[in-house]
Amino acid sequence: MANPKGMNRYRAVKFASKFSLHLVLILGGLLMIFPLIWMIVSSFKPSLEVISVEFRFFPKIWTLRNYSRVFREVQIGRGYVNSIVVSSAVTAFVLLSATASGYLFAKLRFRGRDLLFFLVLASVMIPPQIIIIPLYILINKFGWIDKYQGLVFPFMMNAFGIFLMRQFMYGIPSDLIEAARIDGATDFRIYFSVIIPLVRSSIAVLGILIFLWTWDELLWPLVVVHGNEMKTLPLIMAHFTQAEQQFPGESLAAATLVIGPILVVYAFFQRHFVRGLSMTGLKG
Amino acid sequence: MLKQNPPALRVEKRRRPLNPFVLVVALSVLIYYTLVGAWPFIYNIWLTFRKTDMITEDKFIGLRNYKYLIGDPVFWKSLWHNFYYLGVMVSVGIITSLVIAALIYRTRGAMRKVYTAMFFAPVVTSMVAIALVWTLLYFPKIGVFARVLSGLFGISTERLTFLQSTTTALLCIMIMDIWRDTGIRTVIFLAGMDEIPDSLYESARIEGASNLRQFFRITIPLLTPQLIFIAAIYSINAIRVYIPVYMMTGSPPGGPANSTMVLTLFMYLSAFYGMRFGYGSATAMVMFVILFGLVLLEIKAFQQKWEY
């Protein structure tokens, strides 16, 4: 301790380790965001420049041609409308059904409750892709091929969401509900004016998750959308994957456009976003 | 006498008014999950015993779909790919994000936020879109990755065909998948690390334990719940994976030469391309059994008390 030389050496080692720590993290972080930056920057390159023998990071000529072609020729605008309609509808239905049945299972008593909850719980074990063939037959019977109903119906209720909301609602004191009941409120009334306001932040978390999952859903739209009219964004992207070598610039423009709304959601709900995702991870 | 229920109780039960909220919600849950859960599942089992293309008439063929499945090399290949995917995603995925979390944990303040945001950025994307971007980065011979690898390590660009080579295609897809979710795993681990009391590290330091030793003896054991949670989620995801494979292998998906074929795609292609719906249903049942086994395993792991 009394030796100043040793002290200096100690400081130097400490500085070097701090420095290398930050260096590793900065390099690693840049590596992580490189594909995203490359996507955005290269979406302004002419297609011939995206994949070419001569490599440059920034475009030689900045152009919006990829974007205009994506809107005019692939009709990504229509895909946007479809994706937004389907994702919002699914999110709204899931939130309504999950909160209502969460309240039902957590706070109300009725005969057959455990049996009904078992039915929901069993559905957690059955991801949609396992029953996709019977579901397709069902939707076909309903005449919902190439319709919004067909895209939305299999995702209207979410067993995981019901389970999650039930957990959250256990935390609501029953006295609160009893007090409202004594005041003469019906369960509908209690649900809308007591329960919903209390679980607002959980609703945001679940809503973001559901929106993201639906936004990225590929298999079900592949099965029930046959025409061009009802294509969601993932289906339009799937188009590119079969032709990406001919249309690299357009592919990147489309990818940037698909990711855009997610970034907006993230910007507004950062806290809920991180919380929701660390609760479940992402879907494969 | 004794067998009869006390009459007073019965009357009381009957008098209880029917709650319209319970009726509406319970009934809609019941109807929905019968229609979109129970019925399709049972119907799927029934379909596995049938030969059906949805056009000509169905035929009962007993267990033949399963028999064909056992004899189908592409099925076994897909099954193996799913488990390979599981092994790599869980091991490499956990190790990389654990290391990154340990590094970020040592930083403080604004820089910590910047690093977390950088590693989290790929999460805030769409898998479908980002897989397409990586397909272009993986462009053979003259793509960005090929150029970087040949520039750094002097590998001949002729050999850098990535997704078009049967030996590297699946690996390339897994690298993309690991990259994408690193941020989530890191955030989960970081949250776990923040909860470990500093006093544990201090007493270890006093006893002269090195940083590495502290990491293995304190950090990792105390992160057991997070480790189990992540292993659980990513093993289930690996059995269900299809988006990155579909998006990165073009047409037909699962190529080249089925070297990236996975169960979900195998099922989808047999049913909706091959018009063999019974065969697809049988594949789905196999997936269900695997997932069911995994879930049981995970429930067991979660129920164990992890104390140190």
C-alpha distances out from residue A247 to A30, A66, A213, A239, Å: 27, 9, 27, 11
List chain B residues with CB under 8 Å of A97: 28-29, 32
Distance from the B60 Cα atom to the nearest Cα atom in chain A, whole angstroms: 17
Q: Domain end: A30, A48, A63, which one?
A: A63
- Is the predicted pLDDT of residue A244 greater than 60, yes or no? no
Check whether residue A150 and residue A54 sit in a common domain: no
List chain A residues with CB under 8 Å of B243: 216, 218, 284
Residues shown for chain B: 308
Q: Quote the CA–CA distance of B203 and B218 in Å, as a whole number.
A: 11
Per-residue pLDDT tens over the stretch A11-64: 888 888 888 999 999 999 999 999 999 999 999 998 888 887 777 888 888 889
CATH value at residue A259: 1.10.3720.10
Q: Quote the CA–CA distance of B154 and B163 in Å, as a whole number.
A: 20
Check whether residue A73 and residue A48 sit in a common domain: no
Q: Are B136 and A50 in contact (CB under 8 A)?
A: yes
What are the residue ranges spanned by the domains of chain B? 72-189+221-303
Q: Domain end: A63, A79, A105, which one?
A: A63
Q: Domain end: A32, A63, A94, which one?
A: A63
Check whether residue A149 and residue A105 sit in a common domain: yes
8 Å CB contact of A162 and B272: no
Q: Which residue has the tokens 């660009």?
A: B157
Q: Are B292 and B271 in contact (CB under 8 A)?
A: no
* A120–B contact, CB cutoff 8 A: yes
| Mean pLDDT value across residues A187-191 | 91
Check whether residue A184 and residue A48 sit in a common domain: no
Number of inter-chain CB pairs under 8 A, A vs B: 276
| Mean pLDDT value across residues A223-242 | 90
Check whether residue A162 and residue A215 sit in a common domain: yes
Q: What is the pTM of this model?
A: 0.89
Q: Which of A32, A250, A273 is nearest to B181 (CA)?
A: A32
Q: Which domain holds residue A115?
A: 66-280
Chain A, 199-238: which have a CB under 8 Å from a chain B CB? 215-216, 218-219, 222-223, 233-234, 237-238
Provide the domain count of chain A.
2
Per-residue pLDDT tens listing for chain B (308 residues): 444 544 444 444 444 567 889 999 999 999 999 999 999 999 999 999 998 887 778 888 888 999 999 999 999 999 999 999 999 999 999 999 999 999 999 898 889 989 998 999 898 899 999 999 999 999 888 888 888 888 888 888 778 888 888 889 999 999 999 999 999 999 999 999 998 998 888 888 888 888 888 889 889 999 998 999 999 999 999 999 999 999 999 778 887 889 999 999 999 999 999 899 999 999 999 999 999 999 889 888 887 765 54
Distance from the A172 Cα atom to the nearest Cα atom in chain B, whole angstroms: 18
8 Å CB contact of A254 and B129: yes
Give the other-Cβ count within 10 Å of A78's Cβ.
Answer: 17
- Is the predicted pLDDT of residue A186 greater than 60, yes or no? yes
Q: Quote the CA–CA distance of A280 and A275 in Å, as a whole number.
A: 9
- Residue B9: the pLDDT is 46
Q: Quote the CA–CA distance of B48 and B92 in Å, as a whole number.
A: 36
- Residue A52: the pLDDT is 77
Check whether residue A230 and residue A125 sit in a common domain: yes
Chosen from A20, A97, A133, A214 to mutate, greatest number of chain B CBs within 10 A: A133
Check whether residue A173 and residue A253 sit in a common domain: yes
- Residue B10: the pLDDT is 47
| Domain B72-189+221-303 superfamily per CATH | MetI-like (1.10.3720.10)
Nearest to A21 among B29, B103, B281 (CB): B103
Q: Quote the CA–CA distance of B235 and B93 in Å, as a whole number.
A: 11
Check whether residue A171 and residue A42 sit in a common domain: no
Check whether residue A193 and residue A152 sit in a common domain: yes
8 Å CB contact of A133 and B271: yes
Check whether residue A174 and residue A213 sit in a common domain: yes
Check whether residue A225 and residue A112 sit in a common domain: yes
pLDDT category of residue A278 using cuts at 50, 70 and 90: confident
8 Å CB contact of A130 and B238: no
